[in-house]
Amino acid sequence: MSFVTIESIVASHPFFAGLSEESLRVITARSRQVELPADEIIFHEGEAADHFYLIRSGRVALEVHSPRRGRQTIQTIEGGEILGWSWLVPPYQWRFDARVIDPVEAIELDGRRLRELGEIDHDLGYELYRRFAILIGRRLESTRIQLMDLYGSSN
């Protein structure tokens, strides 16, 4: 029987590839495994953002609310992806709601502590910002494409 640690799970994820063992220890020091049932709200827009998730399995809808259209899914995060970047960008509040579509198994990581450590260890801080900047850019592009589909392009 093999014992799988949170550190080994995080180390095997492409997002964290190439980080030193020490960086991985720091990143996972205050992490925990979570299981979230369908329809659970993980976070609400405007709440304090102090963590993020490595989704191992399941699906999460990122949603916005509109008085005219109600709740709209703008993106779906699936197993193998990272959920949450608002912990890294002031004012450290969630920009969307996140609702579980299919039951989720995830690793919850402590973003607040990583912000603090990034101020002390600038190399780690830079590397996290760089990786999350790429992630945010991909998410913005994906959202733009989804909005074009939702509202139609005006060419």
pLDDT tens-digit series, residues 54-63: 999 999 999 9
Per-residue pLDDT, averaged over 18-39, amounts to 95
Q: Residue range 120-136: average pLDDT?
A: 94
How far is residue 82's CA from residue 100's CA, in Å, rounded to a whole number?
14
Burial 43-63 (b: 16+ CB within 10 A, else e): bebeeebbbbbbbbebbbbbb
* Confidence check: pLDDT of 139 > 80: yes
* pLDDT at residue 83 is higher than 90: yes
For 6-151, the fitting CATH number among 1.20.120.1200, 2.60.120.10, 1.25.40.10, 2.40.50.460 is 2.60.120.10
Beta carbons within 10 angstroms of residue 72's beta carbon? 14
80: left (phi over 0), alpha (psi -120 to 50) or beta: left
Residue 1 in this model has a pLDDT that exceeds 60? no
- Whether 106 and 53 have beta carbons less than 8 Å apart is answered as yes
Half-sphere exposure at residue 16, Cβ-oriented, CA atoms within 13 angstroms: 23
